Structure 1
Amino acid sequence: MNLMKKRWILLIVACTINLCAGSIYAWSVFAPPLAERLSLLTGEALTAGSLAAAFSLANAVGPIPMILGGAVNDRFGPRWVIASGGLLIGLGFFLAATAETTLSLILGYGIGFGLGLGLVYGSTINTTLKFFPDHRGLAGGLTTALYGLSSVILPPVALALISAEGIQYALIMLGTVFTVMIVSGGLFMQKCPDGFEAKFRSSTAAPVRPAREELNWRGMLRARRFPPMVLLLLCGAIPGMMIISHCWSAARELAGLDAAAASVAVSILALANVFGRILAGAASDRFGRLPSLMGALVLTLLGCTLLSAADGIAALWFWSGILLVGIAFGAFMGIYPGFTAEEFGAKSNSVNYGIMFCGFSIAGFVGPVAMNFLLETGFSYQEICLMASSLSLAGLFCGWIFSKSLPHKE
């Protein structure tokens, strides 16, 4: 089959794989029954919070296999990288289902699933980016969006399985299905041929933004524009992580919502995040990566400001605020894979983006920790949202610094 046609099939397969890999978002559904099971086995009074380290560990180890697997992906292609990741994800599910101690659960799920997730997520995104030099934003947006869509689709499915057959059955069944889908999808994927972008550019009228430079990870780290790129990412991601991590509680406090309505707010924020990845990714193909990211920062600034002004009476401001924050955070997730490839080249982007993705991991740690610290210090949600909005101003400054650090004008 002609690669120009097959690349769209590869994109669909990559999106399906990421939908399965995004099953990490079902952890909040798995944790309570797992804690109940382990409490019976160990005699300890465990809660979902007692097992939170498993989720944190799975996210924390992700960048390591992204970088190491990325080197294999760039050289040999995605098939065995994704297939190996699928097996590790399945192993993580199995170890969680059969764990008899808290430590074995945390290590088994956290390390097994986390290593598999890093291999799969990094490889699917960077492989599709190489096949879509004309639509890097759209390809990055779609592949990251389907990963995020798991937070909406999978929890109710997992909850239904647990209610019907129990936690062990649910974990083993889901783990088996996801392993088969990821492994088979990975074996279908293929490496983008060397020189594909150059041939694509010469044989089609589609607009292609050539990479500014082809740099490996060492060259990327030495580039003057790398530090402001990372700072720009952090300023865009940390406010989103702050709101996402406390959306349910903030909805109760800021808008006076009851528990059910607050849960709806969490779902709306998740959907806004998903659609933000697709819409902003596509917009960045048309208007450019940096202008689109600067626009996302403006949305974050406006969204956090609206949240800071929300109260039980002005609930509309709360709903508008979480929509804007969700869309803006999704924009950073969707644009940055293509942004990295455009700045430092597609050839080594699996490794380069793995390093850049560490910024999202840092934001995932700093955002919730900062929110908890500020709440414990005595600040209100309104005051904290206003503080978060100031990061957007810092991000706009970082974007300006980045534009001044470019080796040549576009």
Structure 2
Amino acid sequence: MTSVLALHNRELLGTRGAGDRARAAATLRDVAGLAGVSVSTVSRVVSGTGYVAADTRRLVESAIEKLGYVPSGAARGLVARRTGMLGLCLPDMAPTADLLAPTRTGSGVEVITDDATAPDGSSWGGLYFGEVIRGAEYAAWQAGYALTVVVARPPQAEARIRDLAGRVDGLIVVAGTLPDKLLEHVTHRLPAVLVAGARPAGGYDHVGVENARGVQALVEHLVRTHGIHDVRYVAGHANSPDDSDRFRGFRAAMHAVALPTPREPALRGDFSRATGRRLARRLVADHRRGGVPLPGALVCVNDETALGFLDVFNAEGIDVPGDVVLTGFDGIDGGRTSSPRLTTVEQPMTDLGRLAVEILRACLADPKLPRQSIHVPVRVLLRESCGTH
């Protein structure tokens, strides 16, 4: 009698080219045989647990790459060939040192008058990612799926992603989270959707926002409506696709209004409010001690960075927008309640997660669907921090 697994593999082979046959059939035992090691050794490499010598690990990883092995969750649902799970991969931007610091214990209440010296670890974009997760989780719940979230944190990032890929029916990956080679590897078995950034070169579905156009419209407003010529861009991580898109929009705007077009951002942070504060303190110190003029306007890569600048400017008596115009990107709640309220480019963050799930559902229903790239519109919200009431 033909086994369910054999039927499952036969169907997989029938929907893929001959070059994918080894990938569809590869097992843990196949990897062990090719690498010349035990199955338990391969299991330790794949799971990222236990000690494996560096040379042995390289042999196993090479065998995994050659065979295209992905830990399979099919054994938990061979008949339906579905696990009922979707995966969401986020980049590692966590303040590891702060997360691992011991929690203070004891009794009593501490009263402080200023938290300027408190630990100021960098945020990992929790507000943005939280909204993406919320949209994805709700859409998955509506469709009868559960959502598993994994942070790609070294040194076990690849092992965790491979393990996740074997336990879910589809994968949502925030752009810049995984190397292209690893993403291509895991998507031999399941569909994947990239969230944010520009349209990927690989054969993946994509959901993003109009980053460049949003920033371009904002900068042109600052120059043409408010007459500001000294406009500077505050960047995020250098490897962020969203940051690259937004800086491209900044450069396009400066060119369009016939102002000098910078090759590099004026300042670079990490998307966090804490780092925004540090950059602002340095800017104010240079201004007061060295006589360096304040910029006419700062266009920040995101709202959290801009709010960090605003924290320091308010504390140091720098008037916004009188002395410096300040803007952000995202449209988080903090910008609606800040003083002054923050001018920003609002993106529909929850829609990114929701649309990614909807695309995965369509791909699972029909694997032959053509790949698509959706760019969601943004809105420029003019508020008091740029002088518009």
Bigger radius of gyration: 2
How does the TM-score come out when normalised to structure 2? 0.22
Query: Which structure shows the bigger proportion of residues in strand conformation?
Result: 2
Q: Which has the higher contact order (CA 8 A, sep 6+)?
A: 1
How does the TM-score come out when normalised to structure 1? 0.21
Query: Which structure shows the bigger proportion of residues in helix conformation?
Result: 1
